[in-house]
Amino acid sequence: MALMNGAQYIESLRKLDIKVYMFGEKIENFVDHPMIRPSINCVAMTYDLAHEAEYEDLMTAKSSITGKKINRFAHLHQSTDDLRKKVKMQRLLGQKTASCFQRCVGMDAFNAVFSTTFEIDQKYGTKYHENFIKYLTFIQENDFIVDGAMTDPKGDRALSPSQQPDPDMFLRIVEKRADGIVVRGAKAHQTGSINSHEHLIMPTIAMTEADKAYAVSFAIPSDVDGLYMIYGRQSCDTRKMEEGADIDLGNKQFGGQEALVVFDDVFIPNDRIFMCEEWDFAGMLVERFAGYHRQSYGGCKVGVGDVLIGAAAVAADFNGADKASHVKDKLIEMTHLNETLYCCGIACSAEGSPTAAGNYQIDLLLANVCKQNVTRFPYEITRLAEDIAGGLMVTMPSEKDFNSDLKVGSMTIGETCNKYFKGNGKASVENRMRILRFIENMCLGSSAVGYRTESMHGAGSPQAQRIMIARQGNIAHKKELAKKIAGIKE
């Protein structure tokens, strides 16, 4: 199959019997649901840009498996140049959608599972790597989207998977059969899960032998029997369901998406299993996936940051504050922080190296430094954007009030709103409202999941990166450097 375009991707979702629940009810047509469709539009952009000559070098690659042209989101990185192009592609998509385009997790999972299965097979003589190559070939040839699913609900964080009072708090193997396994549990906070053709499952933490039932990796269609999804709430999400909603949405076309994915005794055939109780490799898979995904944030969050900086500058123009020195300085600081994140994403890519399996991995230390900065800088960029935008961003009346013909005193409600919420006259009141609602959407509303809050918790919370920085930082080597120059002999 040739590369799909956005329209073909959307139609392909209609053919799937994905079980989606929201507000306590089953959603029969999730593709056209007003709360879900903006997130589907984001994913469609990853398909459409692959057909534009201007972006072909970033959006497509030559498959290392088949030699065919594929979407870069289905690619195994073959060089540091591939790693850099990944980050640049993600920045581009952030600029085009101002939201989370949801396809990165699967790409990062492909590369982590590919190298880890190779090393499991070397030690145990299994055929997981062969299974995975066949699976990825299938994905590339169909141009499918895969949700890389790692995060478990986790229950009591002080207890290991096998110690949990409820054993389903981590996804686990409940039955081993001659033709496959049966799994039970859930994956939480799953980005783009509803919009994906397939799910690629990984363990969420390093394991001990006592936890071996939880050391499992496999792939499964999104509409397989026993699998269902519960859609996650976002701030201001029901605005999308209001009749005639437009300005109040901020970002009407695009949005992010998260869900709880539940496995109610799902059967996994042998040829789709990539880890089955090899508990000693769970930590390797987690570490590699996390490294790739922390690199990703040096691209996608930067692209969204580009749009937010631009929106703040437009708001300053419309407010008549664009010439103020403190506003100019804030825009400079926002740009400085944003480009610093990009530097980290490019640096960990440029310092990448080949794995034993042959694909390329980023520099793990620099990738974790990248994500540690992402847990901080977008919050400051958001604060500065809100500062520049002003309080009207969160206190303005609704779009219906601006259009209301209800007369109160000498004016209608609409006339009153349009009179008192006028800026400096450079733009219409409507356009001023549009840019402020857009900033609200990015900082506080239903796109915040793709920027601010996701910057904190996506790809692991800040402490997860600090643990990896401590592990990768090589303090012992740094001590020896200091001792040698200081003339300390032991």
479 vs 368, 474, 483, 484, 486, CA distance in Å?
22, 9, 6, 9, 10
**Taking a C-beta distance cutoff of 8 angstroms, is the pair 42, 94 a contact?**
no
- 326 carries an active-site annotation: no
| Helix, strand, coil share (%) of the chain residues, nearest 5 | 55, 15, 30
- 278 carries an active-site annotation: no
Catalytic residue among 42, 100, 344, 370: 100
- 440 carries an active-site annotation: no
CA angle 332, 337, 343 (to 5 degrees): 120
- 104 carries an active-site annotation: yes
Catalytic residue among 293, 348, 386, 399: 293
User: Distance between CA 216 and CA 188 in Å, rounded?
Assistant: 16
Catalytic residue among 97, 151, 204, 300: 300
User: Distance between CA 54 and CA 320 in Å, rounded?
Assistant: 36
- 293 carries an active-site annotation: yes
Task: Give me 264's structure tokens.
Answer: 């109610």
CA angle 301, 310, 367 (to 5 degrees): 20
Catalytic residue among 9, 135, 214, 297: 297
- 451 carries an active-site annotation: no
Residues 6 or more apart whose CB falls under 8 angstroms from that of 111 comprise 76, 77, 288, 292, 359, 361
User: Distance between CA 304 and CA 50 in Å, rounded?
Assistant: 19
Catalytic residue among 116, 191, 355, 416: 191
Strand ranges, E, within 11-137: 20-22, 25-26, 60-62, 69-71
261 pairs with which residues across the strands?
A: 187, 229
Catalytic residue among 33, 77, 97, 104: 104
Kind plus residue range of the DSSP H or E element containing 261 = strand 259-269
Query: Considering Cα of 325, then 330, then 335, then 337, what sign does the dihedral take?
Result: positive
CA proximity to 201, closest of 160, 178, 225, 173? 173
User: Distance between CA 412 and CA 203 in Å, rounded?
Assistant: 59
- 287 carries an active-site annotation: no
- 191 carries an active-site annotation: yes
* Residue 147 DSSP SS3: strand
The pairing of strands 146-149 and 198-201 is: parallel
Catalytic residue among 47, 151, 228, 258: 258
Catalytic residue among 198, 287, 440, 454: 454
Residues marked active site are found at 100, 104, 191, 258, 293, 297, 300, 454
